Amino acid sequence: EKIPRLLEVRGEVYMLHKDFQELNKEREKSGELLFANPRNAAAGSVRQLDPKITAKRKLSISAYASGEYRDGRIETHIELLKLFKSLGLKVNPTFQLCKNIKEVTKFCQDWTEKKNLDYEVDGVVVKVNSLRLQERLGAVTKSPRWAMAYKFPAEQATTRIEKIIVQVGRTGALTPVAIMDPVEVGGVTVSRATLHNEDEIKKKDIRVGDKVLIQRAGDVIPYVVSAIKEKRTGKEKKFIFPTKCPVCGADVSRPPGEVVIRCTNISCSAQIKETIRHFTSRGAMDVEGIGDAQVEQLVEKGLIKDPADLYYLKKEDLLPLERMGDKLASNILNAIEKSKERDLSRLIYALGIRHVGTHIADVLAKNYSSLDELSKARAEELSFIPEIGPIVAQSVELFFKQAGAKRVIDKLGKAGVRLEVEKKKKVPQILSGKTFVLTGTLEGFTRDGAARIIKELGGKVISSLSKKTDYVVAGKEPGSKYTKAKELGVRIINESEFKKLTRK
């Protein structure tokens, strides 16, 4: 088959049942949390920043659409799928062209009854075949008018809850999970089901020892529908949600209006990888050379147990790591050393305090001269600061109350990390009241670096472009914002003009 001049293919990534089971067996052997279902496993694999981790996972793909095609004209969806197949791309083999609605109904009913596939499926998508008609029909927000999903009725089963455990996720969220007598639901053996959160358990009055009705949401995620109360013997026990993290023993927090309970400890081993990733990220301490692969290895080998441990690493610690040479090890150590001089606001953000993003970190750094001073602040005092509400104030106070936070801050100070506000000369606010949009790649600045300069000079960086935007700074290969700026008549400046504009 002739290869088109340009073909953009869109598809869906998924994981086969057998590959999912193999992955969970491997994770169980290494003491890692198990994935709840193939969909979560596939999504988690695709989201990995390190492609080597994604490559190890056995993923499949089904091509189903084209964003752009240049080489002749294709009139129908069926023709497109056949083209994909002829080019060696994987497509779903179950597609069928139906002549009328009766055939569509029969196709949906047939699949409702069999569903004997080797991957998770929750329904049938019915599409208009003509691509020209698809274009005319258009879409509403994210929903196309030319396609509709027919969802299969959920299959249910009855089993018994043996116990309820609480898992701590990578962001510190505590999730209750029911461990049950194994039961088959929709052709899959289920022995674990999420109970979502504390409120859900109370609302459904689910108890340890209960006979329960379980269902797989969209034939994918197992969950407990209800307790079968008439089958209670009196031996069932109410579940009491822990007030301490089951992994590290630190206090847990549930801000008003939220359903998720979280561990507040920066040193919690259940979330340490995510904590380190955030701490070293560009918007935080910006430690170049520490990526997902390095974080995985440093944590797995026990070289770092909290963010402060980064500053105590030696070259001999790094050299045994996979794909680590002398030069790279030196570069990483230099980057770690350089990060010691980051602004207090970036350090506050790097600590990963719940509800404290870059803006709130800036506000806190402007009101407290050191991390030590901020750590002693109480919620009531913090609430008096404009832009700091009661939820953020409570989150900050609770974070610094934890022994883990105190240990990390002490270690950071001893390692030479700057914990105080750098006394700076007042910078003329020459960009006060001006708004900027950044697009493309700048040679002399990172995107974050250019944004910081604009903010220091009193300007504001925004993501959405409008007629009210003052400047669009365009680097190499600018995106659609460049075209839109031209249409709106917004002033576009290049990197050289940006340097002149921001020269102090």
Residue by residue, pLDDT tens for the chain (504 residues) are 578 888 899 999 999 989 998 998 888 887 777 787 788 889 888 888 778 888 989 999 999 988 777 777 789 999 999 999 999 999 998 899 999 999 999 999 988 877 678 888 888 999 999 998 998 898 876 688 999 999 887 778 999 999 999 988 877 899 999 999 999 886 678 888 889 899 999 999 999 999 999 987 655 678 899 999 999 999 999 999 999 999 899 999 887 778 889 999 988 888 898 899 999 998 899 999 898 888 888 988 899 999 999 999 999 999 988 888 899 999 999 999 999 999 999 999 999 998 899 989 999 998 888 999 999 999 888 988 888 988 899 999 999 999 999 999 999 999 999 999 865 556 788 998 899 999 988 887 777 778 878 887 889 888 888 999 999 999 888 888 898 999 999 999 998 899 889 875
Distance CA 131, CA 212 (A): 47
Which stretch of DSSP H or E encloses residue 481? helix 480-488
Question: Is the CB of residue 216 less than 8 Å from the CB of residue 188?
Answer: yes
Question: Chain centroid to CA 59: how far?
Answer: 19
Q: Which residues contact 197 (CB under 8 A, 6 or more apart)?
A: 175, 176, 259, 260, 261
pTM metric for this prediction: 0.54
Q: Residue 268: name the closest of 352, 164, 336, 195 by CA.
A: 352
Distance CA 261, CA 166 (A): 11
